[in-house]
């Protein structure tokens, strides 16, 4: 029994361990190479969370649907639509920041419900459903406005510019001033969401049902689980997290435009896979997705500090890592099948 448990732990956790180790090694390498340029400062580490707060929430939602064996490629377009709706409602329609935020969160839930219903009850392939959702959301963004709308709402800007200073990790600059590191509220929201989703997946019936369905849908049905309802709930939750991630993304940009967040869905998928979520479903960890996002942020920081490389090297490096982790997943899947025999 202990041996089986050990093998299960190795199989399900090994990719997560590799991801965490990879991030640690990369960050230490960054400190060695660019330490004199400020890479070793606490603020640089915190900037990984500040820049990617929205992506952390979106990758968390992506992990949920991928554990069920599905996928959602509409999230980038949903983020663009959320940003545009926030900008238009506040600047053109005169709404308050709170009303506009609640409105986009409701839209996210409705969007997730429609996609989830098509996937769960009509049994349409998730890729096809979310592809349609991607085109619809991006098209609606253009319908609302083809031009960029900058947000000037005072309450929204106060949210975006609110800095929470930390009592540690400061340094004295050349002028003799103490510079304290800081984060934005968006980082706290992202981490709180991450912890809540981790608890839901690990300790609730809904979370265990998601893993069961992703592992073997037929077995889940035989166990008496309501597969359709669980899948629907997963997509509704993912829709909510996509809209919340869009809100956090908008706090960074304070604007809405048609081309916004292009390719963000691929960043979310890559972060989840690099974090140990199996493309076939049944295995995944939101903390793994967090480290997948941090790895992406670290690569971007490398390119910024290096100064001469193109930003496309981020995509190239992520693509190489994605291939590496997919190969590892295939090896583990083959080993698992061999052990069954």
Residues 6+ apart with CB under 8 A from 251: 53, 54, 156, 159, 160, 184, 186
Which residue ranges make up each domain of the chain? 49-260
Query: Residues 134, 265: contact at Cβ < 8 Å?
Result: yes
Residues 6+ apart with CB under 8 A from 307: none
* Whole-Å CA distances, 322 to 67, 102, 278: 17, 35, 12
Instruction: Print pLDDT tens along the chain (341 aa).
Output: 444 444 444 556 788 888 999 999 999 999 999 888 888 889 999 999 999 999 999 999 999 999 999 999 999 999 999 999 999 999 999 999 999 999 999 999 999 999 999 999 999 999 999 999 999 999 999 999 999 999 999 999 999 999 999 988 888 777 878 889 999 999 999 999 999 999 999 999 999 999 999 988 999 899 899 999 999 999 999 999 999 999 999 999 999 999 999 989 999 999 999 998 988 888 889 999 999 999 999 999 999 888 887 878 888 889 888 898 888 888 877 776 677 66
Phi, psi of 204 (to 5 degrees): -115, 160
Query: Residues 173, 179: contact at Cβ < 8 Å?
Result: yes
Query: Residues 260, 149: contact at Cβ < 8 Å?
Result: no
Structure tokens at 12: 């399900």
């Amino acid at each position: 029994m202990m041996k089986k448990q050990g093998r299960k732990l190795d199989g399900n956790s090994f990719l997560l361990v590799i991801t965490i180790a990879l991030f640690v090694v990369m960050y230490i390498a960054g400190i060695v190479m660019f330490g004199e340029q400020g890479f070793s400062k606490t603020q640089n580490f915190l900037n990984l969370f500040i820049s990617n707060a929205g992506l952390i929430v979106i990758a968390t939602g992506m992990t949920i649907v991928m554990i069920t064996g599905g996928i959602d490629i509409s999230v980038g377009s949903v983020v663009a639509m959320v940003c545009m709706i926030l900008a238009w409602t506040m600047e053109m329609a005169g709404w308050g920041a709170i009303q506009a935020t609640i409105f986009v969160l409701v839209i996210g839930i409705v969007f997730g419900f429609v996609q989830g219903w098509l996937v769960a009850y009509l049994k349409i392939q998730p890729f096809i459903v979310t592809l349609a959702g991607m085109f619809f959301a991006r098209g609606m963004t253009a319908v609302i406005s083809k031009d960029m709308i900058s947000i000037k709402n005072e309450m929204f800007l106060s949210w975006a510019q609110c800095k929470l200073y930390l009592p540690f990790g400061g340094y004295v600059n050349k002028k003799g001033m103490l510079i304290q590191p800081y984060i934005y509220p968006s980082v706290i929201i992202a981490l709180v969401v991450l912890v809540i989703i981790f608890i839901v997946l690990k300790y609730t019936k809904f979370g265990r049902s998601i893993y069961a369905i992703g592992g073997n849908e037929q077995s889940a049905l035989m166990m008496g689980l309501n597969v359709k309802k669980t899948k629907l709930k997963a997509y509704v939750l993912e829709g909510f997290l996509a809209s919340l991630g869009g809100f956090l993304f908008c706090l960074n940009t304070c604007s809405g435009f048609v081309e916004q967040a292009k390719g963000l869905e691929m960043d979310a998928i890559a972060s989840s896979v690099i974090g140990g979520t199996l493309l076939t479903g049944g295995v995944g960890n939101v903390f793994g997705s967090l480290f997948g996002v941090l790895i992406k942020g670290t690569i971007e920081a490398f390119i910024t500090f290096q100064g001469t490389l193109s930003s496309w090297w981020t995509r190239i490096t992520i693509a190489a890592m994605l291939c590496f982790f997919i190969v590892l997943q295939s090896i583990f899947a083959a080993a698992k099948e061999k052990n069954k025999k």
